Amino acid sequence: MARPRSSDERRSEPEPPADVPRRLVVAMTGASGAIYGIRLLEALHDSPVETHLIMSEWARRTIVWETDYRATTVAKLADHVYPEEAMDAPPGSGSFLTDGMVIAPCSMKSLAAIASGLSGNLIHRAADVALKEKRRLVMLVREAPLSVIHIENMLRVARAGAIVSPPVPAFYARPRSLDEMVDHTIGRLLDQFGIDSGLVQRWGGSQPPADDSAAGDASST
Ligand SMILES: Cc1cc2nc3c(=O)[nH]c(=O)nc-3n(C[C@H](O)[C@H](O)[C@H](O)COP(=O)(O)O)c2cc1C
C-alpha cells in the first residue's frame, strides 16, 4: 500500500493546506502501455491519496487491446472519474488543489497538444494547469523510434517544468517478469510525489562481482 512521506521527509516541498487531502490527477491516453496507468491506480487504491482519473477515448480502446481489463473496471479503481470532454470538471481549474498529475501512458498526440498549450480536452487542460501552477507533471511518454518532432515536444514540456519519464525498464533490479518491470516503473513514478509505494527494489550500492567468473556463478552471491 502507498505510504505518503511524512512532512519531515517532504520538508523542501510546499505544504498544501492541512485540510486538503493528497490528490493526484491521473490521465491515461492511447499510447501503448495501458498497464502502467492501471498499476498506478491499483497502487493508490485504498491509500490516503485521492485519485482523479481522466481516460481518453483511445486509452479506453487500448486497455481492451492490451490487457484483460475493461475501461469500466479500470474506472472503478479511481476515486473520481471524468470524461475527457468535461472541461468544467475540477482538474480543469488551478483553484482545485492537487499534488500534481501523471499521464501514464502519454501518447505523442497528447504530448504535442500539451507542448503547444492546446487545452482541447480535460487531459490537456489539466496538464496545462499543472504547468502554470508549477505543480508536478510526470509524463510517461511512449513511442519508438522517436522523431525529431517528438523529441522537440519533450524538450518543450521539460522546459515548462514537466518531468518526462519514458517507461524504460531498469535491469539492475533483475526483474523476473513483466509485472515486476511495470511495478518498478510505477514505484519510481510515485517516488516523484514522495509516495513510497513499496514497489521499488531499491539499489543498495553493493559492489559489482569481482570478475566474470563470479558474475556467472549464482551460488557465490
Ligand atoms: C494498440 C495501439 C497502440 C498505440 N500505441 C501508441 C504509442 O505507443 N504511442 C503513441 O504516441 N500513439 C500510439 N497509438 C496511437 C494513439 O492511440 C493515437 O495517436 C490517438 O489519437 C492518441 O490520442 P489520445 O492522446 O487522445 O489518447 C496507439 C494506438 C493503438 C490502437
For the chain, the structural domain boundaries read: 20-197
pLDDT value at residue 221: 35
pTM of the model: 0.88
Decide: residue 56, CB within 10 A, 0-12 exposed, 13-18 middle, 19+ buried: buried
pLDDT value at residue 17: 62
Spans of the chain below 50 pLDDT: 1-3, 6-13, 214, 216-221
pLDDT value at residue 201: 85
Q: Hey, what's the cell of 122?
A: 480535460
Q: How remote is the CA of residue 113 from the centroid of ligand 1, in Å?
A: 13
Q: Which atom of ligand 1 is nearest to the CA of 59?
A: 27
How far is residue 173 from each of residues 123, 128, 179, 182, measured CA to CA in Å? 33, 34, 13, 12
Please state the CATH superfamily assignment of the domain spanning residues 20-197 in this structure: Flavin prenyltransferase-like (3.40.50.1950)
Say if CB 125 and CB 89 are below 8 A apart. Answer: no
pLDDT value at residue 11: 43
Q: What is the pLDDT of residues 195-219, one digit of tens each?
A: 998 899 888 876 666 666 545 444 3
Cα separation, 35 vs 77, in Å, equals 13
Q: How remote is the CA of residue 58 from the centroid of ligand 1, in Å?
A: 7
pLDDT value at residue 19: 73
Q: Hey, what's the cell of 31?
A: 499510447
pLDDT value at residue 8: 45
pLDDT value at residue 172: 87
Q: How remote is the CA of residue 145 from the centroid of ligand 1, in Å?
A: 14
pLDDT value at residue 9: 44
pLDDT value at residue 204: 83
